[in-house]
Amino acid sequence: MLKSKRIVELANEISEDLVRDRRFLHQNPELGLELPVTVGYVRKRLTEMGYDVQDCGKSGLVAIAGSDHDGKVFLIRGDMDALPVKEETDLEFKSESGRMHACGHDFHTAMMLGAAKILKEVEDEIPGRVKLMFQPAEETLMGAKDMIKAGVLENPSVDAALMIHVMTGVPSPEGIVVIPPEGTCSAASDWFEIHVQGKGGHGAMPNTTIDPINVATHIYQSLQTINSREIPPSETAVLTIGMFKAGDTSNVIPDKAQMNGTIRTFNPEIRNFIKERIKDISINTSVALRAKADVNIIDGCPSLLVDGKLSREVFESLNELFDGEGVLKWEDVMGNTTMSGSEDFAFVSEKVPTIMLALSAGDSNNGYAYPQHHPKADFNEAVLPRGAAIYAYAAIKWLEENK
């Protein structure tokens, strides 16, 4: 049985490699399913370590550590894509491309490369196999689904899966690991577009027009009543309009208006109900005001479900790895709340027992004031070895306990 101390030592030995990998990825952020530089870099690093790297879907990569074909298979995932955010940090290695790793996926990928290095060092002692999943397009909720379709959970079949997400701008000491309980861990996510067709005209003669801005604002106000008047108080849902576009100048009533928004839910029935109500309210409100509305609902991902047995096993293994220091249960940190953010690893959780861990990488009480997705978001590189060790040891320990 591999000693946890050895995994920590191996992780600390590659700390410089982890920082170098993270900084290269941070300087070269790419979006969605198009990650040529990122994929090329990850492939090169894995090949240097001795891995046989396989393509999986559009920009996904898979590598396998361990040679025990009679054992089980544990999957670890790191997402690789960035956000269309112009970086405003003062980092020497900041991105200048108008894109930014503002969500920490550069950390995830670097920690996965570190785990790959650790697993290769102890490969003969792995009681099974560890499948490394390097995933694109988490931010657009397309990457996990694409890799599942391409067979990431097969050949060999995966028995359990784990992902880590770093957090910053939160009042939590760096390095704290939070383990969620059984059940729903993150929100389902969907998008919608509402296009209102009116009749444009002169701003001084509104009676000769059908003002799409007026119609769209009535739709906007009515949509807010879904949560306040149509959802049971015991349920949680978020409906947000994040984009509203209409017109080009002050004295012309435009022909069209457009609103784009997002829905976050936990209950599948509530999720479907809200989608239908968005359509009903938009179409009928526009008809009442002599306009026409087209509604496009774009399915995102379901809620991520945490397996209870896996959660307990990972909690025990990480307490062993870190001698009981800095490993906390979700309810001790967050109470009974669940995460309103969404995670497309949810598609994996529909197929195999799954867990998502949170790793604090930026304490708001210690200079890391900005949260994820902010153009000034920053992360503490000191946690990189800890993340690599978590990926590697959680996988190895689960394989040992589930022979």
What would the DSSP string read from start to end of 178-247? Answer: EE--SEE-B-EEEEEEEEEE-B-EETT-GGGSB-HHHHHHHHHHHHHHIIIIIS-TTS-EEEEEEEEEE-
pLDDT of residue 336: 63
Q: Which amino acid appears at position 101 of this protein?
A: H
One domain, residues 122 and 48: yes
129 lies in the same domain as 13: yes
Structure tokens at 247: 């017109």
Are residue 115 and residue 105 in the same domain, yes or no? yes
Low-confidence ranges of the chain (pLDDT < 70): 1, 334-340
The pLDDT value recorded for residue 131 is 98
Task: Return the CATH number at 258.
Answer: 3.30.70.360
Verify that 375 and 318 share a domain, yes or no. yes
Rg (CA), the chain: 23
Q: How many domains does the chain have?
A: 2
Q: Are residues 397 and 364 in the same domain?
A: yes
CA dihedral 309, 310, 316, 320 (to 10 degrees): 160
DSSP state of 160: E
Q: Do 130 and 252 lie in a common domain?
A: no
Concatenate the DSSP letters of all residues of 102-158 into one string: -SSHHHHHHHHHHHHHHHHHTGGG-SEEEEEEEE--TTTT-HHHHHHHTTTTTTTTP
pLDDT, position 335: 64
Return the axis-axis angle of helices 384-401 and 15-27, rounded to nearest 10°: 110
310 SS3 class: helix
Residues 93 and 211 in one domain: no
Distance between CA atoms of 108 and 111, rounded to whole angstroms?
5
Asked if residue 89 lies in contact with residue 142, where contact means CB atoms within 8 angstroms, the answer is no
Distance CA 195, CA 54 (A): 42
Q: What are the structure tokens assigned to 189, written together?
A: 């996510």
For residue 280, give its domain range: 188-301
Helix (H, G, I), strand (E, B) or coil at 314: helix
CA atoms of 148 and 130, how far apart (whole Å): 17
Same domain, 12 and 49: yes
Which of 301, 328, 358 is at the close of a domain?
Answer: 301
The answer to whether residues 42 and 176 belong to one domain is yes
Domain boundary among 247, 266, 301: 301
Q: Are residues 148 and 250 in the same domain?
A: no
pLDDT digits (tens, 9 = 90+) for 265-301: 999 999 999 999 999 999 999 999 999 999 999 999 9
pLDDT in tens, 126-176: 999 999 999 999 999 999 999 999 999 999 999 999 999 999 999 999 999
Q: Which of 281, 301, 321 is the last residue of a domain?
A: 301
Query: Does residue 249 sit in helix, strand or coil?
Result: coil
Give the bridge partners for 355, in sequence order. Answer: 162
